[in-house]
Chain A
């Protein structure tokens, strides 16, 4: 790694999109469609980065038929703690329907089902994201790969761009933009859940420094079932599994959906094994065709998951498969900060799934819908700003947190690897994060707040690791927003489980908004909830 300072690449655009997964790609295409000039930066490579690209994912695609839509909206309402909002679900179902037909027209090879027409309820990630990259380029968007954003820029009028570095050339970049879309995904705390190691909450930290707020950060306890060695998080296929103790007895009540907590509780004491023995011969080939990389792992280890028992564990997926994120304040996915928009897993998904999401389906629909709206909204905002929109003498916002964009060279500072380990120790264990209590959360927050202060003094980069000081700070900040929100929700709702408050409390039927850097705060959302009026009335 060369230490010499290179001159920064300086660029201007109406809209800067940070993150090149599905949400960012849709945002860039939609913004360009409005006539805006657009740059997309990705910390990895737009097309392979993020949770979607390496996996197959279901899509919350429902034909515009009244009963089917109604069933789709109500099916997860209760599981999500009645926090989803019907108008948002309706618009996401509409937008997803249009976008899926759009990618068919762009050439995505959907399978043909028994109706003789294309079936739209899933996509293969590699194919989908390779296509999206092509369409982003075709829309005239400039893509900067391997170019993480390190901080947002702003002036008194709002957000004005971002700066970062190209990790391969070490050249810094600075992009002045009239509007910025944060599509950086959630935070999975480097758990290696499939494709998530680029998802370290970077966008949360940048948005937090700009003064944006969060919603639903307590809904961040998602763990996926994986073979103990494997990154491949395909929990849906475990609907065909039976779970076993080491001695071969069946673990009663264990399952991939509601029975996942039984697996967690068992894993706290002893190993758990699975076998996909509920899948009969006729469905096995279909499963292989649906999830090639799930079977790739088994084939390479010469395990037959249909006939052999294999050890499983639960890999943490944090807010990637949680539902909380940056709070959005209107239908364009704007945040409360002028010029700043949020989309995909970086934004809260409570609007369509409340406090629970069973898998990729809703998140994928949200990514393509919120991506589209945020790009359109950001472009319209930018194009209204007039000809001086780029020359704003904007300054970097990292000073608001005090977390430097540069690693510290002093040996006395805490190292990136040390921070990673300390944060993972707070968020990975089931008995801290999944099964939460006031005592546990308070103790974790004490340590995390101390760690935050230490990070502000500077972080030393470990040799040979690409994870930077800002990323480990973002993970720490994310854990603090998660746990302060978890502490404030004194009930069990959605995926948030409090062992000291095991029941749902109708008086807490609201979203929780949070924010702050040195002082994290949490408050109930004041707007009425459009999800389920009944519970609000009971309250």
Chain B
């Protein structure tokens, strides 16, 4: 089962390595990790998507809480969250395929940001499910390269992590 964990940490040197080191050390598998400064510049927010059973998720949360730099840890179920990931996808596109791909991009709410005689580079920012579908749609043309930011997540409604 996939778990999305939001961690508020002190925004100073060494914190990210402490957090990422914890995962390998304790044998937890992570799908993605995204980090950035928050509205309070002394804090960073890390969003982690990890795979594992309920026991693993609980342990993960406890071990993260144990880190001295951790301010707050929250594990969310998917229906509590709005999730987004930004991806840049370079796809093979012969001149006669361009318009098809452009239509896909339009429908999928993606943007073409670069073009050569035989490639298109697509920018898409959406939920993981939607991105997965986009991969399926583009696969047939030949995906040459994908760069992704990792999933970030925020609670639905007015609730915040404080």
Do A and B pair up? The answer is no
Interface residues of B (CB under 8 A from A): none
Interface residues of A (CB under 8 A from B): none
